[in-house]
Chains A and B, each alone.
Chain A
Amino acid sequence: MYDTQWGWLVRYMHVDGVSLIFILLYLHMGRGLLYGSYRNPRELLWVIGYLIYVLMMGEAFFGYILPFGNLSYWAGQVITSIIHAVPIIGPGLTTLARGGPGVGTATLERFLALHTVLWFLILAACIGLHILALHKVGSNNPDGIEIKDRKGPDGTPLDGIPFHPYYTVKDVFGVGVFLTIFAAIIFYAPTMHGVFLERTTFFRANPMVSLPDVTPPWYLAPYYAMLRAVPNKYEGIALMVAAVIMPFFLPWLDRCKVRSSRYRPVYRFMILLMAVTFFTLAYVGEQPPLPKYFLIERLGAAIYLGFYLLLPIISRFEPTRPVPERVRS
């Protein structure tokens, strides 16, 4: 920040890139939910994609600890103590994760190795698998129609267009818009008023000074809000783990014949309610743990889990609109 030429640019790209990549991930996943892209035959694609999201959470967590500000120290303590809840081997695992009885140099060493090498390689491999899985089944479309069912005389889908040049030029435009927003944040609001880069990170790690509230970054806050919704540590962790794992089963929970939410009004409402709930939980998770938020946290957790638990029943009986035979332009 102070002594390296353009060091601030690299650091701000690194730290703001995390928040922006999570915004893009949420948009990408939201689109998959809206258009039913996770459905048969794309289950594997969805599972690998969601695995990438979970791995990204881990990558983001390691990166959260590495600056070793006071927030990093306490966040490291809190999150590694979650491992403590694992039955029987929990305490041993916690020591293994921290490299000692508490968060310290050994923790930083292993987290640095994970953040920069091992986790990165796993992520890159998963992204490769994600693309391979996509190539096997092909892209979905907003209508949720299988374009391979209608092929022309030459064997190519009638409604399909080649990725290059159509999507490459479209993506260049998307990249341009993204870079514009990214540059605006980096150059004019790099800490985003404490949302992208928390204030307490700027104090040195100090085991003697505990923070009034240890908050996760905004993109992990929904899970933290659900963790806090239950007063019992083990039940809260169980709820949080359930919240993270549930979306893996989404392709098999949805029993509707129609894919896209364009023709499923009830499902579309559920998705919108889910999105509002998720970001409300993100906001609440950033707030100090006050009683006035408990009701919101519990309601949010109930809606979040309810979505997945009720989906098999609702999707079987929900009304659908007629689906067109061809992709609409």
Chain B
Amino acid sequence: MSKILSRAALGPLFALVTAAHAATVTPPPAPPAVPFTKATVIAGARFFADHCSACHAVNNLRYKRMGADLGLSAAVIKKSFMKPGGANYLKGMQPAMTQAEAKKWLGLPPPNLSHMARALGPRFLYTYLTSFYWDPQRPSGWNNHVFPNVAMPNILAPWGGIYTKNGTLLVPGRESPAVFDRHVADVVAFLRYASDPSIFERRAIGRYVIGAFIILSILAYLLKKDYWREVHDKDDHSGSQKSATRKPTRKD
């Protein structure tokens, strides 16, 4: 009897605690402002080449182009970005595994990431990469909060740690959350660059182009003002002739 009573008392208590917990649990924090400089893109590219490139292609981005944009020599690119053997310096970034192998192992061929950052946006990519959780029901053992039942396993687990669905840490990662977040942001910065490799070139020359057009506008404005002076003067003049009460114009 007392057992039933205590259970009856505990039930609402549990409900209350759960509700309070749900109310205090804040939504996942906003991603850090993804830094976007050549240094972060290079750091992201190195991580990408070491790990992501095992499965994912970036077909449209040639190694040569990447080297030219990021200021890396062909030797560096060949040594630390290209997978041994298969990749061609003059062609796009290729994954280490073939499409057929990937399909056999993962169920789906991993997508080409050339346009992914522009299609999904850097904020989504960042949140996606940091939202994996352990789910024994999935064939890979992984699931994702923002992309449910995704086929991709959490390859970032060794760095970021393994979390359960409600956010408790099962196995801590090699890196502290702050460092890990920073690394993910680097990878996202690289994907942003890969989806529009003109970005550094654009930023470098943009200010000169805009400056030239501003100078052109200022000169054109001065020219226009000079030409139109006589029109405004004529108006003032004829106006003063028409009404004698109007005060004399500047010329008078």
CB of A85 within 8 Å of the partner chain: no
B14 within 8 A of A: no
Considering only CB atoms, which chain A residue lies closest to B236 in the complex? Answer: A329
For the complex, would chain B's binding face be called helix, strand, loop or mixed by DSSP majority?
Answer: helix
Q: Is A177 an interface residue (CB 8 A)?
A: yes
Q: Which residues of B contact A188 (CB under 8 A)?
A: 202-203, 206
Q: Closest A residue to B121 by CB, please name it.
A: A199
Tell me the interface secondary structure of chain A in the complex: helix
Contacts of B114 in A (CB 8 A): 2
Contact pattern, B 85-103, Cβ under 8 Å of A = 1, otherwise 0: 0000000000000000000
Minimum C-beta distance from A323 to chain B (A): 17
> Using an 8 Å CB-CB cutoff, how does the interface string of A1-27 with B read, 1 for contact, 0 for none?
111000011000000000000000000
Q: Say yes or no: B214 contacts A180, CB within 8 Å.
A: yes
Contact yes or no, B198 A177, CB < 8 A = no
- Is B228 within 8 A of A183, CB to CB? no
Q: How many of chain B's residues have a CB under 8 angstroms from any CB in A?
A: 37
Determine whether B4 belongs to the interface, using a CB cutoff of 8 Å to chain A.
no
- List residues of chain A with CB within 8 A of the CB of B224: 169-170, 172-173
In the complex, how many angstroms separate the beta carbon of B33 from the nearest chain A beta carbon? Answer: 15
Q: Write the nearest CB–CB distance from A4 to chain B, whole angstroms.
A: 10
Question: Which single residue of chain B is at the shortest CB-CB distance from A188?
Answer: B206
Cβ–Cβ contact B227 & A169, under 8 A: yes
Q: Are the C-beta atoms of A2 and B60 separated by less than 8 Å? A: yes
Among B62, B228, B231, the one with the most A-chain Cβ atoms within 10 Å of its Cβ is B228
Known: A161-B231, A166-B228, A169-B227. A176 touches B216 (CB 8 A): yes
List, in ascending order, chain B residues with CB within 8 A of A1's CB. 60, 196-198
Return the contact of A173 from the options B118, B202, B203, B217 (Cβ within 8 A).
B217
Residues of A within 8 A of B (CB): 1-3, 8-9, 161, 165-166, 169-170, 172-173, 175-177, 179-180, 183-184, 186-188, 190-191, 194, 199-200, 202-203, 329
